[in-house]
């Protein structure tokens, strides 16, 4: 037990998802601006780095280290959403899109 009260646990549980929301919103812009035509590089890099952050989560000690690793992982793992959703629009002909 890390001696957190209920209020701090609620904040700790929601903070990685807040970072994930920022990553999700930023991913479309980053994907179009820097990875147009090679979105798979963005997806692979973010997934690998996010996985390393999750692994790092098991190796740190203390609540601050846990939170930093979880926030990094949340940001990176949600960062791929824009690139993944953009892929069908790039691959399909315009007449098939709704």
Taking only the tens of pLDDT, the chain with its 98 residues reads 456 677 777 878 889 999 999 999 998 888 888 988 888 899 999 999 999 999 998 898 887 888 899 999 999 999 998 888 888 887 888 887 76
Q: In this structure, is residue 97 part of a structural domain?
A: no
pLDDT for position 4: 65
Whether 54 maps to a domain, the answer reads yes
Residue 71: per-residue pLDDT: 93
Residue 92 located in a structural domain: no
pTM value > 0.75: yes
In angstroms, rounded to a whole number, what is the distance separating the alpha carbons of residues 89 and 98? Answer: 10
Domain assignment present for 96: no
Residue 33 inside a domain? The answer is: yes
- In the chain, the number of structural domains is 1
- The reply to whether 6 falls in a domain is no
Which pLDDT score, from 0 to 100, does residue 78 have? Answer: 93
Range of the domain at 73: 15-85
């Amino acid at each position: 037990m890390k001696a957190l009260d209920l209020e701090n646990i609620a904040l700790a549980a929601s903070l990685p998802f807040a970072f994930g929301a920022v990553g999700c919103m930023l991913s479309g812009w980053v994907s179009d601006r820097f990875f147009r035509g090679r979105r798979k590089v963005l997806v692979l890099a973010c997934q690998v780095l996010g996985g390393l952050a999750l692994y790092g989560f098991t190796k740190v000690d203390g609540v601050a280290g846990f939170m930093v690793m979880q926030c990094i992982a949340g940001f990176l793992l949600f960062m791929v959403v824009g690139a993944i959703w953009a892929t069908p629009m790039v691959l399909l002909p315009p007449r098939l899109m709704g």
